[in-house]
Amino acid sequence: MTANALVKQFYDVVNNPGNAPREWQKQQGGRVIGWLKTDVPEELIHAAGFLPYGIVGGKTKFSRVDAHLQSWACSLMRSCLGIALNDELNFLDGLIIPHTCDTTRMVSGIWRQIHLLPYMENFFLPRQVDRASSKMFMLAELMRLKESLEVYSGSAITEENLRNSIALYNENRGLMRLLFAMHEKTPGLISCRDLYTVVRASMMMPKETHSHLLEQLLQALRIQNNVYQGRDKVRVIISGPVWEPPELMDIIDSKGTVVGDDLLTGFRYIASDVNTEEEPLAALAERQLNRIPFACFDSTQNPRRQFLVNLVRQKQAKGVIFLHLKFCEPENYDYYDHKLALEKAGIPSTRIETEVGGVSVEQMRTRIEAFFEMLGGI
Amino acid sequence: MAPKQEFKTTAMFKQLMSQYYAQGVEARRKNIPVAWVTAVFPVEILYAAEVFPYYPENFGALAAARKIAHDLSELAEAKGYFYDLCGYARCGIGDAYAQEHPVGEIERPDIIFCCNTQCGSLPKWFEAASRFYNAPYFLLDAPLIEDAWEEQVKKYFIKQLEEMIDFLEQSTGKAFDYNRLVRVLDLSNEACRLWNEILDTAALKPAPFGFFDACFHMAPIVTWRGTEEAVTYYRALKEELDERIKKGIYAIPNERYKIYWDHIPVWPRLRWFADLFAEHGALVVVSQYTHSWAYNFDPSNPLESLADNYLKSFVNRSFDKRIDLKINFMKKYNVDGFVLFSNRSCKPNAFGLYDKSNVIKNVTGLPGVVFEADMSDLRFFSEEQVRSKIEVFVEQLKER
Ligand code: SF4
Ligand code: SF4
């Protein structure tokens, strides 16, 4: 198959959200456990014999959401609720909600009211990551989640199962990182939107199938490698929770290219593997504390500032575009510091206020294009 | 309406609060560290360590009550902090950049403590402040607590209290005195006991004291909790209330309805709301907010009981538990209806209120209303909309 035909398959998964899990249910007769962004240890869900399914929002009708969640909540959570209210998630048997911020913390209660599922869990991450107690709690929480999944599945998660799931996930992440590396070297090979669609699809379909498709895609791209150019595109870093709305990527594609990010639905999702040498739960805990910093679980020095500066330098990017969801408090509190750190390092940046689900990108287009022009792109 | 008779203790209140702010200045002179803390925080440990606790939220409430919140907010907004953030944070951050300080300058911290029982806004604000003021920062992390995982969360919290005491010993260079902690806990218990007795007088019909009075008189239970001063103050206030009950002086003339309120008041419109309800013979008598300070410590088991009390603050409980707590208050105070304030500043209290309101109506059969505004920023206050919502609600009260 050609690269194009393969890429299209990832788009099919993303554009028809329920299809892949429904198909899996039909074939395997198993149960699907959804998770809201982000950091939920899918390896555990998978090891329990369930299909993890990432609910990352999308186009929806917001009118029904208003009766449950105020219009000044982030559109990411509002669109997730909207999708649920629209019965588009009726293949779910369960849901795990990570407490990343006050919005998710409250959504966990609202969700039970409007869409009660047989299995509902919270996932608590330590908000401080600098002290010994955070590791202790992280491990205890993973243990709790494991037990809770075992109770629901009716059988124990064996160490062997967990090791197999970790290996499967590590492999999938590794493949996606290869794709990122290839794109960074030859940005014209595959568009940014295609690249990030591959990541997003991986949250919404069985990893086994995803890896299989992805291997074929990598192979196809290797063959086309020399044909494509794009090395002279203006290189930028993007930062924020999610790359929404997706059309935003097309705008970036038309002006330059992304060579690095810290997005929950981007490189941050695949950056950190789980150490296979260690006891699996301890390794999962360690991975969590080693992830790319994110507004909800920073250490107090805000290491993300330095992370961004380093990333720009390492990837020889020309600037940073912050994609910040309107009403997202955690990101907003850190923004001034990020901006300052970049300014000090002489790195231009811009902040685009984004929304998930059916918003016009025209305003964003003007801002993004102007930024690229400023960077000397076109 | 007859002008409201001032509480005698108001003079004492003013004196006590100015003494509190003077202490901040005094602390610097005496080389006592000034620590920022959050409202629902085991401040007893700080008082025991002889550190001066300063409450930036209190500063925010003060700025809001004096109707200058949006001026300060605009200074924060100019830096890239958006008006979607908690109003207290915007006031605090704005004041840090301000040239003029109409309600006094926010106290510069030497160390910063934060507990996220209340919300995720405070830790982000305080974290930013710790970088701005270059002050060491300690976050006491409180994951949401439910019976099923209570033990795990409690263990984590107690471990952090130990880490915090180590951190304090390092910052102050002094060994922590557990005996002093026991004394502070006793004082805290006493002040909380008095405060709750005072709040309970609102259950009498007619009542000498209501929620809006409590909003005024609560500053010492927040800031002075753990000291003699708080005990003395609330003892005096309690005596004055007993006296008022004897003399038949009530919060409003002709009290007909009792109302439950959730949660914070709209600070710049405190009086406006009180009058609006009073016009109809309605008195707001209870809110989870003013009842937050209902701690009961076991001084023989200090850390564990601090963990129990602070972790189980109502905002840190599950959706269902929070509904139960609200309904219990409604029953205890025998209210005729409830008003839920969807406070744009405060996501952990506002999100979920629509569904909660439905559940409460179903369970209690009481009329209720949810209204939208911001606790500090009048840019989000539509007087006409709020008034008409409250008036519809009052009509429902009358029809019952
Ligand atoms: S972290 Fe931000 S984007 Fe994510 S759920 Fe919370 S408010 Fe929404
Ligand atoms: S008002 Fe709400 S969001 Fe603001 S500091 Fe208080 S609890 Fe936190």
The CATH number linked to A145 is 3.40.50.11890
Q: Are A237 and A315 spatial neighbours (Cβ–Cβ below 8 Å)?
A: yes
Q: Has residue A23 been placed in a domain? A: no
The string of DSSP letters for A214-268 reads HHHHHHHHHHHGGG---TTSEEEEEESS---STHHHHHHHHHEEEEEE--TTTHH
A294 — phi, psi (to 5°)? -150, 145
Query: In the numeric block, which tokens belong to residue A190?
Result: 């595959």
Q: Give the distance from residue B154's alpha carbon to the nearest chain A alpha carbon, in angstroms.
A: 10
Query: In the numeric block, which tokens belong to residue A166?
Result: 């970790």
In this predicted model, what pLDDT tens digit does every residue of B149-196 receive, in sequence order?
A: 999 999 999 999 999 999 999 989 999 999 999 999 999 999 999 999
Q: Are B198 and B238 spatial neighbours (Cβ–Cβ below 8 Å)?
A: yes
The CA angle A321-A324-A330, to the nearest 5 degrees, is 125
Full residue range of the structural domain in which residue B252 is found: 1-399
Q: What does each of the 400 residues of chain B score in pLDDT, given as a tens digit?
A: 344 678 889 999 999 999 998 998 899 999 999 999 999 999 999 999 999 999 999 999 999 999 999 999 999 999 999 999 999 999 999 999 999 898 889 999 999 999 999 999 999 999 999 999 999 999 999 999 998 999 999 999 999 999 999 999 998 999 999 999 999 999 999 999 999 999 999 999 999 999 999 999 999 999 999 999 999 999 999 999 999 999 999 999 999 999 999 989 999 999 999 999 999 999 999 999 999 998 999 999 999 999 999 999 999 999 999 999 999 999 999 999 999 999 999 999 999 999 999 999 999 999 999 999 999 999 999 999 999 999 999 999 999 8
Number of independent structural domains in chain B: 1
In this predicted model, what pLDDT tens digit does every residue of B62-105 receive, in sequence order?
A: 999 999 999 999 999 999 999 999 999 999 999 999 998 988 89
Residues 60-79 of A with CB under 8 A from B: 67-70, 72-73
Give the distance from CA B21 to its chain's centroid: 18
Query: What is d(CA B355, CA A4) in angstroms, rounded to the nearest whole number?
Result: 46
Q: Has residue A80 been placed in a domain? A: yes
Enter the ipTM. Answer: 0.94
Q: Has residue A246 been placed in a domain? A: no
Q: Has residue A87 been placed in a domain? A: yes
Which phi-psi region, left, alpha or beta, contains residue A240 (left: φ > 0; alpha: ψ -120 to 50)?
left
The CA angle A144-A145-A148, to the nearest 5 degrees, is 85
Give the distance from CA A249 to its chain's centroid: 15
Number of independent structural domains in chain A: 1
Residue with tokens 């998978």: A46
Which has the closest alpha carbon to B57: B47, B48, B69?
A: B69
Q: Has residue A124 been placed in a domain? A: yes
Coil, strand or helix: which one is B51?
Answer: coil
Top mutation candidate among A69, A297, A325, A327 for ligand 1, by most atoms within 8 Å of CB: A325
Q: Are B377 and B345 spatial neighbours (Cβ–Cβ below 8 Å)?
A: yes
Query: What is d(CA A39, CA A35) in angstroms, rounded to the nearest whole number?
Result: 9
Q: Has residue A369 been placed in a domain? A: no
Full residue range of the structural domain in which residue A93 is found: 28-158
Query: Count of CB contacts below 8 A, A vs B?
Result: 134
Q: Are A308 and A237 spatial neighbours (Cβ–Cβ below 8 Å)?
A: yes
> Ligand nearest B348 Cα, by number?
2
Residues 295-354 of A with CB under 8 A from B: 295-296, 298, 300-302, 326-327, 329-330, 332-337, 339, 351
